[in-house]
Amino acid sequence: MIQQYVLVGVLGLLCADASLDPAKFEGKSQDWFEENWGKPSGKSSRFFGGESWVYSRIAGGETRFPFFNFSPNQCQITLDFDKEGTLDDYDYTDC
């Protein structure tokens, strides 16, 4: 049972990583992310220019008992853009 959870978690990380790597290598812009992902949950300026965007999503969850006690997994994706507005780096947690 635990092996299944580990396998699902590893596959989830691989899928999340695979979905953002092409965007980084293709030089996707802030406009592209806003058009395809929607408005970010938060924005902040970076020290050396550019912006950091944060997207918060619910990515599945866990039910401990039937019909109640559902605890969702909150996924947070951080996208760092350079001065020109293209994707520079990204990070995610709990996806």
Q: Tens digit of pLDDT for each residue in 11-48?
A: 454 444 446 766 666 768 899 999 998 999 999 999 88
Under DSSP, is residue 86 helix (H, G, I), strand (E, B) or coil? strand
Q: How far apart are CA 44 and CA 47, in angstroms?
A: 10
Q: Give the residue among 67, 43, 42 at the shortest CA–CA distance from 57.
A: 42
Range in 5-9, 46-50, 60-64 the model is least confident about: 5-9
Q: Where do the domains of the chain lie, and which CATH numbers do they carry?
A: 2-61+72-93 (3.30.1450.10)
What is the phi/psi pair of residue 47, to 5°?
A: -60, -45
Q: How far apart are CA 46 and CA 43, in angstroms?
A: 10
Whether the CB-CB separation of 43 and 53 falls below 8 Å is answered with yes
pTM of the complete model: 0.63
Please tell me which residue, 12 or 92, carries the higher pLDDT value.
Answer: 92
Mean pLDDT, the chain, as a whole number?
Answer: 76
Q: Which pLDDT does position 54 carry in this prediction? A: 93
